[in-house]
Amino acid sequence: KNEVEQSPQNLTAQEGEFITINCSYSVGISALHWLQQHPGGGIVSLFMLSSGKKKHGRLIATINIQEKHSSLHITASHPRDSAVYICAVKTQGGSEKLVFGKGTKLTVNP
């Protein structure tokens, strides 16, 4: 079982829909990252969370440390939101590595 699990693996939505992507992890973490990866491969950091909730434009990220769960929400989705969204956690102690989920491929149709 992977240390970081994302669901769903694939998600297709119509423009304007509210999107939720979930991330569960099984290890102690000091921070959780939500990342966006476009087909070219480059990764953009969207949020870094250690507690609570963050909002940036139409994107909202929440984390529940007790339940080891985080969600990324996209309001009023748009075709340009189509990308792979990846959850990654920085584990406690040891090296500073990130452990990644496999990603959720989002396609927003016009």
Q: Which residues bind other proteins (CB under 8 A)?
A: 4, 30-31, 33, 35, 40-45, 48, 86, 88, 90, 94-103
In contact, 35 and 102? CB cutoff 8 Å: no
User: 14 or 51: whose CB is closer to other proteins?
Assistant: 51
Provide, rounded to whole angstroms, the least separation between the CB of residue 75 and other proteins.
Answer: 23
Tell the smallest beta-carbon distance from residue 22 to other proteins (Å). Answer: 15
CB of 101 to other proteins, least distance (A): 5
Instruction: Select 81 or 101, whichever has its Cβ closest to other proteins.
Output: 101
Contact predicate 35/45, CB 8 Å: yes
Q: Which is nearer to other proteins, 3 or 17 (CB)?
A: 3
Instruction: Give first-to-last CA distance, the chain, whole Å.
Output: 36
Q: Whole-angstrom Cα distance, residue 74 to residue 76?
A: 7
Q: How many H-runs (helices) and E-runs (strands) does the chain carry?
A: 0, 11
